[in-house]
Amino acid sequence: MIGSKYLIFSVASLLVALVKASDDVVNCNATTGACPDDKPCCSQYGVCGSGSYCLGGCNPQFSYNMSACMPMPICKNSQTIFDGYSGKMMNQYEYLGDAEKNDWIYEGSIADYDDENALLLTMPKNSAGAVISSTRYMWYGKVGARMKSSHRQGVVTAFIMFSSVQDEIDYEFVGDNLTNVQTNYYFEGTLNWTHSTNVSVSDTYENYHLYEVDWHEDHVDWVVNGEISRTLNKNETYNATSGEYMFPQTPARVQISLWPGGNSTNPIGTRSWAGGDIDWDAPDIEDPGYYYAVLESVNITCYDPPSGTSKNGSRAYKYTNSKNFTQAGVAITNDTTVMGSLSDSGFNPENGKSSSSSSSSSSSSKASSSSSKTSSSSGSKSSSTKSGSSKSSSNAGTTTASSATSASGFVQNMKSSSASASGSSTATSTGGAGSFSNPIGTNGLMHVVVAFAGAALALAY
Ligand SMILES: *[C@@H]1O[C@H](CO)[C@@H](O)[C@H](O)[C@H]1NC(C)=O
Ligand SMILES: *[C@@H]1O[C@H](CO)[C@@H](O)[C@H](O)[C@H]1NC(C)=O
Ligand SMILES: *[C@@H]1O[C@H](CO)[C@@H](O)[C@H](O)[C@H]1NC(C)=O
Ligand SMILES: *[C@@H]1O[C@H](CO)[C@@H](O)[C@H](O)[C@H]1NC(C)=O
Ligand SMILES: *[C@@H]1O[C@H](CO)[C@@H](O)[C@H](O)[C@H]1NC(C)=O
Ligand SMILES: *[C@@H]1O[C@H](CO)[C@@H](O)[C@H](O)[C@H]1NC(C)=O
Ligand SMILES: *[C@@H]1O[C@H](CO)[C@@H](O)[C@H](O)[C@H]1NC(C)=O
Ligand SMILES: *[C@@H]1O[C@H](CO)[C@@H](O)[C@H](O)[C@H]1NC(C)=O
Ligand SMILES: *[C@@H]1O[C@H](CO)[C@@H](O)[C@H](O)[C@H]1NC(C)=O
Ligand SMILES: *[C@@H]1O[C@H](CO)[C@@H](O)[C@H](O)[C@H]1NC(C)=O
Ligand SMILES: *[C@@H]1O[C@H](CO)[C@@H](O)[C@H](O)[C@H]1NC(C)=O
Ligand SMILES: *[C@@H]1O[C@H](CO)[C@@H](O)[C@H](O)[C@H]1NC(C)=O
């Protein structure tokens, strides 16, 4: 019914970055191929760089080679209650990969919601919203989030699992229909509209619900408020041509996001999937000053890796077969997941460490990380958030240009991502997913780069 009139995009997560404009961007995807050795890592959004680009979401398929991406922190059981939590989260562009110290990282703008002992993902006027990501990967397991979606047309909330090779398991909340949550899945970014289903639920904006993904090697259950709403069996996903199961099967991070699917700068198909154009003058934009989704808690329970997995250690997952990005190509190692500085990659993770006191990149990363602390703690202070004057909270945890400029490795990376703003518009079966980005000029100096994930975007062409 969708037919060739639309390109359907799998989208993996929402990336928000306020960055200095720049043109020297190198893309990486199935069409353009792999990254060059000086920007070896292919980010989740299909842009080459180092530092953050080599951490969460780094795609080994289109990186310079498989060792460019840092090994992925292994799953660990956890329960996070997001009460007064914004100050504990690091900005994704300052995080160096230490999952022992950071369970969650963020992009965009977040704030504490003291009235409900929860975290707000916020989306001020004309912004790109927010995304939080687990630092650890889950390779089969159960993850549950107690949350409230945002609301109104054009406003999309998502709770997804997203792997580095773009396997994906999703819940998507489209704000014009608060009694419906969409489920979906992708194998290596392969887009297929028919994989989406609807689950009926009481008002997702007014009520907390418990959304769970129970992910086993041979099936996935989507469980809403304790009831199995959908089951996908691996054996139903077999592709006889490729001899592969088109089933999500690689280590994946947990991501929760809020993004403006209905922004007027998006393609018509996206806006229409999102329920129509977003109203940037809606009451929420007046008070509290932004659209928001509310995250109360997330539990993660890890299951065993597939039997037969190659194991030499217990710290990280790592892709080991450059021709096979299914679960058969994943090993468990003791390799470090931590970089020394934001100019490192998987080739030289310890670079910044050896000279941390004198290296400029590591001192500048310190500067930017302290500026982020300031902004997120101003967020956590704002108990008035969401109920009154909330100027300060709308800045909370926002990636700012000044923090970007203060860090050299950081700026390098941001430049890359801003240039990705040329926008992609080809649906492919591998790698195209999640690399969709939009050019958005907020003013002469700044660009906002947005990549969507966790949703199926229909793009008219
Ligand atoms: C990847 O490239 C780096 C840098 O050229 C090199 O040091 C490393 O040995 C390569 N790794 C593999 C697996 O080819
Ligand atoms: C949304 O659209 C407005 C123009 O209406 C633009 O200024 C803004 O940058 C866009 N924001 C995003 C995140 O797409
Ligand atoms: C997390 O686990 C605790 C303890 O079992 C439970 O009380 C809570 O409801 C769970 N929360 C989620 C989001 O699953
Ligand atoms: C929400 O979506 C469901 C599933 O498509 C549909 O049955 C229902 O009528 C929709 N409700 C509204 C208010 O659009
Ligand atoms: C989409 O998925 C369905 C069910 O898995 C399958 O029958 C169909 O061939 C797929 N379509 C494409 C274009 O891959
Ligand atoms: C799910 O609901 C949305 C919104 O109501 C609708 O557009 C879509 O076609 C539905 N999908 C399925 C598979 O029924
Ligand atoms: C797929 O697996 C499920 C659960 O193990 C089983 O009930 C079903 O019969 C299998 N289907 C096929 C086509 O093998
Ligand atoms: C099966 O795999 C082949 C080869 O990778 C691919 O061209 C085809 O689209 C896949 N079929 C489906 C239904 O996805
Ligand atoms: C296992 O890892 C250690 C370092 O942690 C390394 O020295 C050893 O060679 C590895 N063994 C295998 C079989 O890869
Ligand atoms: C991996 O590291 C842990 C913690 O440092 C250590 O206890 C274990 O022996 C290491 N395993 C291997 C195979 O090197
Ligand atoms: C990857 O390895 C698995 C297990 O050996 C195999 O079934 C699958 O066909 C392989 N895929 C590719 C693309 O080589
Ligand atoms: C790859 O990136 C180029 C440059 O941005 C873009 O034109 C192309 O559409 C992308 N291809 C895919 C498959 O995403």
pLDDT in tens, the chain (461 residues): 222 222 233 333 333 333 333 558 999 999 999 999 999 999 998 999 999 999 999 999 999 999 999 999 999 999 999 999 999 999 999 999 999 999 999 999 999 999 999 999 999 999 999 999 999 999 999 999 999 999 999 999 999 999 999 999 999 999 999 999 999 999 999 878 899 999 999 999 999 999 999 999 999 999 999 999 999 999 999 999 999 999 999 999 999 999 999 999 999 988 999 999 999 999 999 999 999 999 999 999 999 999 999 999 999 999 999 999 999 999 999 999 999 999 999 998 765 453 333 333 333 333 333 333 333 333 332 334 454 333 233 333 443 322 222 222 211 122 122 222 222 222 222 222 222 222 222 222 222 223 333 333 333 22
Contact in structure between 250 and 164 (CB atoms under 8 Å) = yes
CA separation for the pair 276, 218 (Å, rounded): 37
Residue with tokens 């230490």: 98
pLDDT for position 280: 98
Task: Work out whether strand 244-245 and strand 156-163 pair parallel, antiparallel, or are unpaired.
Answer: unpaired
CA separation for the pair 278, 260 (Å, rounded): 7
DSSP state of 26: -
Beta-carbon contacts of residue 290 (< 8 Å; ≥ 6 apart): 109, 122, 123, 124, 125, 127, 284, 390, 394
Q: Find, among 454, 109, 45, the residue nearest to 293 by Cα.
A: 109
Q: What angle do CA 363, 121, 189 make, to 5 degrees?
A: 85
* Peptide bond between residue 288 and the one before it cis (omega within 30 degrees of 0): yes
* Phi then psi dihedrals of residue 254, to 5 deg: -90, 130
- State both tokens at 163: 């792997």
- State both tokens at 281: 């003058």
Beta-carbon contacts of residue 412 (< 8 Å; ≥ 6 apart): 49, 50, 51, 343
Nearest ligand to residue 193 Cα: 5
- State both tokens at 311: 């194991």
E-state strands within 201-310: 209-215, 219-224, 227-233, 238-239, 244-245, 252-259, 290-302
Find out whether the beta carbon of 197 lies less than 6 Å from any atom of ligand 6. yes
Report the separation in Å between the CA atom of 60 and the middle of ligand 6, taken as the mean of its atom positions: 34
Q: How many Cβ atoms from other residues are within 10 Å of residue 207's Cβ?
A: 12
CA separation for the pair 216, 382 (Å, rounded): 40
CA separation for the pair 454, 457 (Å, rounded): 9
**What is the atom index within ligand 5 of the atom nearest the CA of 190?**
14
Contact in structure between 278 and 290 (CB atoms under 8 Å) = no
* Phi then psi dihedrals of residue 182, to 5 deg: -95, 140
User: Coil, strand, or helix at residue 216?
Assistant: coil
CA separation for the pair 279, 291 (Å, rounded): 10
- State both tokens at 61: 């398929």
Q: Which long-range contacts (CB under 8 A, 24 or more apart) does 278-281 make?
A: 278/152, 278/153, 278/154, 278/155, 279/152, 279/153, 279/154, 280/125, 280/126
Q: How many Cβ atoms from other residues are within 10 Å of residue 276's Cβ?
A: 16
- State both tokens at 34: 């792999």
Q: Is 320 left (phi over 0), alpha (psi -120 to 50) or beta?
A: alpha
- Give residue 338's Cα distance to chain centre: 19
Find out whether the beta carbon of 331 lies less than 6 Å from any atom of ligand 2. no
Nearest CA to ligand 10 atom 10: 313
Q: Which regions of the chain carry the CATH code 2.60.120.200? A: 73-302
Nearest ligand to residue 218 Cα: 7
CA separation for the pair 86, 71 (Å, rounded): 26
Q: Which long-range contacts (CB under 8 A, 24 or more apart) does 318-321 make?
A: 318/71, 318/72, 319/60, 319/66, 319/69, 319/164, 319/165, 320/66
- State both tokens at 231: 């089951």
Bridge partners, residue 209, by sequence: 147
Nearest CA to ligand 4 atom 12: 177
Catalytic, 212? Answer no
Burial of 65 per CB tally in 10 Å (0-12, 13-18, 19+)? middle
pLDDT for position 245: 97
Find out whether the beta carbon of 194 lies less than 6 Å from any atom of ligand 5. yes
Contact in structure between 246 and 190 (CB atoms under 8 Å) = yes
Residue to mutate, 7, 24, 32, ligand 12, most ligand atoms under 8 Å from C-beta: 32
Entry field: residues in the chain: 461
DSSP state of 349: T
Q: Find, among 254, 215, 212, the residue nearest to 99 by Cα.
A: 254
Q: Which CATH architecture has domain 73-302?
A: Sandwich (2.60)
Report the separation in Å between the CA atom of 30 and the middle of ligand 12, taken as the mean of its atom positions: 8
DSSP state of 245: E
Catalytic, 217? Answer no
Residue with tokens 């997913």: 433
CA separation for the pair 449, 295 (Å, rounded): 24
CA separation for the pair 386, 398 (Å, rounded): 16
